[in-house]
Structure formats: structure tokens, C-alpha cells
Structure 1
Amino acid sequence: MLKKSILFSLLALLLTGLQAQQKQVIDQVAAVVGKNVILQSDIENQYIQYRLQRGISGSAEAIRCQILEDLLFQKLMLNQAEVDSITVTDEQVKQEMERRLRYFINELGSQEKLEAYYNKSIAEIKNELRRLVKDQMLVQEVQNGIMMEVEVTPSEIRAFYRAIPEDSIPMINTEYEIAQIVKNPPISIDEKLAVKQRLYDLRQRILKGERFSTLAVLYSEDPGSARKGGELGFYGRGELYPEFEAVAFNLKDGEISEIVETEAGFHIIQMIARRGEYVNVRHILLVAKVSVESLEKARVELDSIATEIRKGEITFEQAVEKYSEASNKSKDGLLLNPYTGSTLFEADDLDPQVSFVIDKLKVGEISDPVPMKTEEGKDAYRILMLKKKTIPH
């Protein structure tokens, strides 16, 4: 599980940025690459996080040197990207950021758990993750450009491997390729109406004199902002849910919105302050839940689909196209490895629940319906197929 430990450590480094600014040990320039500066505090903050991770060992000096080397490489690549006028679009950054967020949400179980884990709202997490993703994408573009210019002949490859002692050649672990068919149970109209009524009642209490912040602490289901009275902090356009943003930017100071629906749930919003093109608002979020009956219906539907596939009445790929409600439907339902971007997973890369199911399957077999969390953190069901399994080599 070391890969996941390190990955979450790197996300934690990003998302503790505001805290790091308050707790900097030293604020001196350690290195300069072009226009990019590496502070001693950057190294210290990463050093602290690395040492907190189980399984990461080594002397303090060696770890700090490795951190500095990694930061220098990144800044060098960013500087080269600027020299070569290499850019990535906002849409590319957004798509990659959303993909990573979906993975982290699936790892922790829900959006609410992700927010609670980092004590930040999803909007705050997105704002800080966006910068890291953009830098990493620029670095990757520079590296890709370099690699495209490298030509290696087959004889050079053979000579390289012959020069490596046999006991030093790394073992390639077992890898899996997995596909899924997902059924997302709909949230009933009655459940949505019940949640909206609760939110309407809270709004009426605020209009009658109760404090918005107090009710946010008591009732909001956004753990990242609830403990702060629902306050999100200052955000610019394009950094919040579109539906949320459309309302928030049109509020007057102190004004309370009507109910707003986003993919996260239902909100009421209060304007705190406006600073140029940025607004600071607080909100109360209530989330409609999928009913037990809807979940069971989805499970039964998938069970019938699995029976069709096993009888040969339909192929798995055809069933994906016809029935699946997952975002990867267009790729034959194949799961994408967030660490590598490929469709192959090592055992440590797999979600434990997926690993438990796949471990019992032979190549070409499908599972019974199993519960899951969708990319938005909602409850759903899926069936899994083991498409490929490579032996260690």
C-alpha cells in the first residue's frame, strides 16, 4: 500500500498549503531556477510530511536532498515550458483535476469524507489542487517533447539489458485489467422534496433572526465548511459549481439565496463580502440520499444483466454500451489506473473492495453485483469483469 500512502502524502502536501504558510520553519531562498524560486520552507514542509508516512525511512539529510532534487527538476521543467511557450488549457487542467478528485473520493468513500479528511470544502480542495495539476501537466508536456526526440535502436536496448546483472533486473508484478457495468440508483422525487423542505425551513429560521453560521455548524453536510459556520473564503469565477457560482456572484452583502441545486446537493448561500472579482460566501448544504429500495432495484437489474452475459445472450461490451451508467462507458467500461493513466493495475493500485472481488475471478469471468461509490460519492452497484491478468515476469 506504499504507493497509495505516498500519493495521499503528496495530496496532503498540496492541501495543507494555507497551514504551511502559518507554520513555516525558515523562509529563505534555497534555489532559483529561471523565475521560479524554491524556499527552504518548501523543503521543510515536504520533509515533515514525508517523515509522517509509514514505510518512508532514511536520514534527514538524504530525504531533504531528494526533496530538493525533485523540486529543482520540477522548476527546471516549468522554466523550460515557459521558454518553449508550452501551455495547457484550462479545460485540460479541469478534466485532469476532476479525474483525480473522483479517484480520491472513491478511495475515501465519499466527497464528505474527503472534505472531512482535509478539513476543507470541495471548492477549497479544487482551488489548491488546480495549481498542482497545472504544474504537473506542464512538466509532463516538456518531458514528452524530450522523449519524442530520443531514438533508441533494438540493438541498444539489448545491449543495455545485457549490461544489467540478472539479479538486478526488477520483477514486473502481476497486473490486472478490469471492466465494469454500473447502475446509479436515482434519488426519488420524495427524497429531494424532503431535503428541499428541510432547507426551506432553515432559510425561514435565518430570515426570522437566527444566525446563518450557527445553523451551518448544526446542519450543513459540508464538513469542510460547516465547522467554520459555512464560510468558504474568497473565490473567483470558474472555481465553484456553475449553478452555485451563478447565484453567489449575484447576491448583495448579507443577502440569502433561494435553494440552489448542484451535483453536490442542495444549498442556501449568504454573501459575506465581495473583493473585486472575488466573493466570500457561506452556505448550508443538504444532500439527498438514495433509498434502500432504489439500491436494491439497481442490484436486481445488474443481477439480471449478469445472467444475460453468462448465458451468452449478450457480450460484456454490448452490455456496457446498453446498460452502464458510468463515465467510462465509451471505453468498454475499462477502469483507468489513476497512478499511471493506463488500464493496467498492480494489486496495490486497486481499491481494496475491487481487489477482494477480482481475486476470486478467472480471466473472462464476471462478478455478482457489488456495492460501490460513484465518482460523485453516491451509492451505486456494479458488476466487474476480469479482462486480463499478467503473471509476474
Structure 2
Amino acid sequence: MKRSVITLVSILLLAAGANAQRTVDKIAGVVGSSIILKSDIEMQYARYTAEGGAANPNIKCQVMQNLITQKILAAQAVIDSVTVKEDEVDSEIDRRMRTMTARAGGQERLEQFLGRSVIQYKDEIRNEVREGMVADRMRSKITEKISVTPQDVTNYYSKIPKDSLPTFNKEVEIGEIVFNPTLTKEEKDYARQKTEDLRNRVKKGEDFGTLARLYSQDPGSAPEGGDLGFGERGGYVKEFSAMAFKLKAGEISPVFETEFGYHFLQVIERRGEQVHVRHILIIPTITQASVDRSKAKADSIYDLLTRNKNIVFSSAASVYSDDKETKYNGGMMLNADNVQARSTFIPTDKLDPQMALVVDTMKVGEVSKPLLYAGQDGKKSYRVLYLKSVTDAHKANLAQDFPKLKEVAYQEKLNRGMSEWFEKKRKGTFIHIDPEYQSCSILKRWIDTPTVAAKQ
């Protein structure tokens, strides 16, 4: 539930790109039976700058290339009957609009910047979103059978010139046991009662959206009147999902508790296995007493680990840690840049500064004293850290870096496979690029007129 920050200038750039979609209608390219408008390129470039990208005309060349490949993939998807459901498109559009609304500071401001209503804008981007999703699905189908064997990795490594081998920074493996402050029933009663009072005001006729904007503590949905858009069962925590899928359209739930706090919600619409809801969230205030209790618990577990050598850190983490992401992984933290590979090796320059200071003083196999940790959201917790291993900076080698090299080898094979596929399709597809973009070096491969184009 984090809210992104975006400047007014960036929003205005995005608005300018949106307005360009209506006013600029020059054909920038033709791919088979599909056209690419200059406004398509300007819109995506404006979105890039709105998200903080530095002004760079070459980005427009990249956008054009992406649109060409997207058109080719979408055309192949029609042949191979690769589709996306309309409710999937709805969900993706809703997700994008929630992000844009949060960045703009509310729906009213977003509509002001866009120069049109959100409903109009959603209709305008629908085809673009659908085509992009279809292209992504087609790409996945093309590459689904690509894999790398240990021999492939070895072959890839052996072809890298010794003086070109990458250098990997110092890395550490760190375990953690997290102790979150736990509130008593009495400490939570104020938040529950406030949520009950807001629900009663809605039941008596006050506007749900207005109350959500004023009081809800969910930064992602409060600016939108609590609206979460359409979501599937697996998209919510279990208590929220159970309540949302139990009610009929228009019904308001009782107050219920999740790991985030106290909520009540209203179902706006049901559509198959998706539900459109809005909610109000009130988060109980963490007390100093609860923080002190978590420290006492952390101290006791630290004593247990240091005095009893028969207690294994991973076992203690699975029993005592309050962090769901690490407790079932023996307490081991994952590299945020390589979560898919579930790598536990974390470059020291990627460590949170608070942790880095502590880890720098530790020896391998050592457990730290409880550390008071403040997250980016301001929430406090005590953590006991365990330094499992340290790998000094070094040139890549198979013994130490096989998982990393495997990932690089796989990506290289994936890119090569897609490049070969596009080359075959290019030769049988009519492609025309407007002279305005023919100076783009990355578009040269598409400008070379294929046989089919010559015949036309």
C-alpha cells in the first residue's frame, strides 16, 4: 500500500501526451494490416517522462521498435488463437488507473490533467492495453520451451573472454527473526470503534466515497473514494477475500480485521470470479508499550540462540518470526533483484543502511543483538540477524556464481530465440516506417525492405 510521488510537471507531460493522442494523427508506421500513429509514440514517451525518465529522443525510437514487435506478436496471436479475456483487460486497466490516480492525488486532479474523464480515458487505452497483453501472452508461448542445461551454462561461460568476465560485488547471506509490536484488544479498541462509527454513518446515508477520502488510511484507494476496482479471490488477504465474495452487489460488510487493520467494504459489482469493491481502512496506532513488549520477546530469543548451541537459527525463525516472507525460508532474506531465482546472496550495496551497519560488524555464524528497525512505511520492529556467509568481490567463476551465470545464459538464449523468430516474421511481413524515424539506428533491421514488401 505504498503511494508513489510524482511532480506536477510530470503529470502535465502525461496530460500533453494524452491530448496529443486526439490531435496528432500522422501515420508513423505500418506493420502488416496494422498502423502505428505518431500519437501512439508521443503518448508512451510522455508516460516515460511522467514516470521520471530523462528527456531523450532515442526513447521514441525504442517505443517505435516495441510497437512494431507488439503488432507482429499480436498478428501471430490471431493465427494461433492466443487471446486474453475482457475481464483480464478490465483488471489491468483498473490497476493502471489506480496507480495514475494515486500519483495525481485523486481522480478529480487526474481528470483535470488528462483533459477528460477517467471513463473516456479508459475507453481510449483499452485497445492498446488489450494488444499489449495479447503480445505478452504470445511471447510467453513462443519462449515457453526455452531452457538451459548445466552444459549450456558451462558453454556460455567458456565463450566469455577472460578479460571480459563480470565482477561481482561483495555479497552476504543474512537470516532474520522479526518481532512486530503486537497490540492488545484494549489497545486496538479505539481503531475498531472508529471503523464502526464510520460504517454507521454510511448506513445512515452519508456518502461512502467522501468518508473514504477523509478517513481511510489506505493511501492507494482513499483518493479514489476507497475504490479498489475489480479483483480476484487471490488478490486479497484471506479475510478480505472471504468478506468480498460473500456479499451481494450493494451490500455493506460488518467491520472485520486483517493484518492491515480494521475494514468495512461495499460490493459494487460481481462479474464471474471477480468482484468490484470499495473499502475504508483504519489502522490501529502502535503504542510504546507494544514496542517494549516486542523488544522483550526479541531479547529472550536472542538469549536462547546464544546460550543454547543446540537451537538452530532456521528453526527459531520458523517458530518465532513475524515476517511471512522469510520465516518459511529458514529466516533467510532473498535478493530483491533476483527473487524469481530465490537467491539468498545479497550484494552489500543493496542492503538496507540500517542492516548494513550491523552486518559490517558481524562474523560469519554470528547472531546480532536485537535491532530496532524502522521500515520505509514508518513501522517499527525488532530484528535478530544471522550472518550465514560472506563472499568477497571477485571475477565471475562457475564454482561460486553458477546460479547467476545460469540466469544470464537463459536470458541470452531467450533473447536469441526471440530475435530469430522476429527475423523470420520480418521477411514475410510488410513493414513501412515514416522517414521521421528512419534515422533511428535500432530500427535499421525493420527498414530493410523484405521480399513481401517489395512485391507490394
Give the distance between the partners of 1:35 and 1:191, measured in 2 at CA.
64
Q: Structure 1 residues 266 and 41, CA, compared in 2 at 3 Å: closer, same or farther?
A: farther
Give the distance between the partners of 1:191 and 1:304, measured in 2 at CA.
23
Give the distance between the partners of 1:338 and 1:32, measured in 2 at CA.
40
Deviation at 1:180, TM superposition (A): 0.7
Instruction: Answer yes or no: is 1:381 the counterpart of 2:382.
Output: yes
User: Would the aligned equivalents of 2:359 and 2:387 in 1 still touch at CA under 8 Å?
Assistant: yes
Q: Structure 1 residues 150 and 229, CA, compared in 2 at 3 Å: closer, same or farther?
A: same
Deviation at 1:286, TM superposition (A): 1.0
Determine the structure 2 residue equivalent to 1:287. Answer: 283
Give the distance between the partners of 2:391 and 2:77, measured in 1 at CA.
37
Q: Structure 1 residues 57 and 245, CA, compared in 2 at 3 Å: closer, same or farther?
A: closer
Give the counterpart of 1:333 among 326, 331, 355.
331
Determine the structure 2 residue equivalent to 1:274. Answer: 269
Q: Secondary structure at the match of 2:322?
A: coil
Determine the structure 1 residue equivalent to 2:357. Answer: 356
Residues 135-284 of structure 1 aligned to structure 2 (within 5 Å): 143=143, 145-148=145-148, 151-152=151-152, 157-162=157-162, 166=163, 168-230=164-226, 232=227, 234-238=229-233, 239-248=235-244, 250-253=247-250, 255-271=251-267, 273-274=268-269, 277=272, 280-284=276-280
Determine the structure 2 residue equivalent to 1:307. Answer: 303
Give the distance between the partners of 1:363 and 1:138, measured in 2 at CA.
47
Q: Secondary structure at the match of 1:222?
A: coil
User: Would the aligned equivalents of 1:270 and 1:283 in 2 still touch at CA under 8 Å?
Assistant: yes
Q: Structure 1 residues 20 and 42, CA, compared in 2 at 3 Å: closer, same or farther?
A: farther
Determine the structure 2 residue equivalent to 1:343. Answer: 344
Give the distance between the partners of 1:320 and 1:388, measured in 2 at CA.
17
Which moves more between the two structures, 144-153 or 133-142?
A: 133-142
Determine the structure 2 residue equivalent to 1:317. Answer: 314
Give the distance between the partners of 2:363 and 2:37, measured in 1 at CA.
52
Partner amino acid, structure 1, of 2:323: A
Deviation at 1:69, TM superposition (A): 4.8
Deviation at 1:335, TM superposition (A): 0.6
Partner amino acid, structure 1, of 2:390: K
User: Would the aligned equivalents of 1:372 and 1:382 in 2 still touch at CA under 8 Å?
Assistant: yes
Partner amino acid, structure 1, of 2:253: S
* CA offset digits 1:93-143 (Å, max 9, x no partner): xxxxxxxxxxxxxxxxxxxx9x9668689xxxxxxxxx9999979867865
Instruction: Answer yes or no: is 1:391 the counterpart of 2:392.
Output: yes
Instruction: Answer yes or no: is 1:371 the counterpart of 2:368.
Output: no
Partner amino acid, structure 2, of 1:23: A
Partner amino acid, structure 2, of 1:343: T
Deviation at 1:20, TM superposition (A): 7.9
Deviation at 1:285, TM superposition (A): 1.4
In structure 1, list runs of 5 or more residues that go unmatched: 1-7, 10-15, 88-112, 122-130
State the TM-score, normalizing by the size of structure 1.
0.65
Deviation at 1:308, TM superposition (A): 3.2
User: Would the aligned equivalents of 2:82 and 2:134 in 1 still touch at CA under 8 Å?
Assistant: no
Give the distance between the partners of 1:389 and 1:133, measured in 2 at CA.
42
Q: Secondary structure at the match of 2:289?
A: helix
Partner amino acid, structure 2, of 1:182: V
* CA offset digits 1:199-251 (Å, max 9, x no partner): 22223333444333333232211223323333x16425435555445544524
Determine the structure 1 residue equivalent to 2:294. Answer: 298
* CA offset digits 1:244-288 (Å, max 9, x no partner): 4554452454x54321333332222345x5375566543321122
Give the distance between the partners of 1:182 and 1:42, measured in 2 at CA.
47
In structure 2, list runs of 5 or more residues that go unmatched: 6-10, 84-98, 108-129, 395-456
Give the distance between the partners of 2:385 and 2:244, measured in 1 at CA.
41
State the TM-score, normalizing by the size of structure 2.
0.57
User: Would the aligned equivalents of 1:336 and 1:344 in 2 still touch at CA under 8 Å?
Assistant: yes
Q: Structure 1 residues 151 and 354, CA, compared in 2 at 3 Å: closer, same or farther?
A: same
User: Would the aligned equivalents of 1:199 and 1:286 in 2 still touch at CA under 8 Å?
Assistant: yes
Determine the structure 2 residue equivalent to 1:105. Answer: none
Give the distance between the partners of 2:31 and 2:387, measured in 1 at CA.
47
Q: Structure 1 residues 134 and 262, CA, compared in 2 at 3 Å: closer, same or farther?
A: farther
Q: Structure 1 residues 343 and 137, CA, compared in 2 at 3 Å: closer, same or farther?
A: farther
Give the distance between the partners of 2:349 and 2:74, measured in 1 at CA.
31
Q: Structure 1 residues 379 and 138, CA, compared in 2 at 3 Å: closer, same or farther?
A: farther
Q: Structure 1 residues 331 and 72, CA, compared in 2 at 3 Å: closer, same or farther?
A: farther
Deviation at 1:294, TM superposition (A): 2.1
Higher-Rg member (1/2): 2
Give the distance between the partners of 2:351 and 2:135, measured in 1 at CA.
26
Identity level (%): 36
User: Would the aligned equivalents of 2:82 and 2:137 in 1 still touch at CA under 8 Å?
Assistant: no
CA RMSD of aligned residues (A): 5.0
User: Would the aligned equivalents of 2:106 and 2:223 in 1 still touch at CA under 8 Å?
Assistant: no
Deviation at 1:179, TM superposition (A): 1.0
Q: Structure 1 residues 201 and 187, CA, compared in 2 at 3 Å: closer, same or farther?
A: same
Q: Secondary structure at the match of 1:177?
A: strand
Give the distance between the partners of 2:181 and 2:231, measured in 1 at CA.
34
Give the distance between the partners of 2:276 and 2:155, measured in 1 at CA.
62
Which moves more between the two structures, 69-78 or 313-322?
A: 69-78
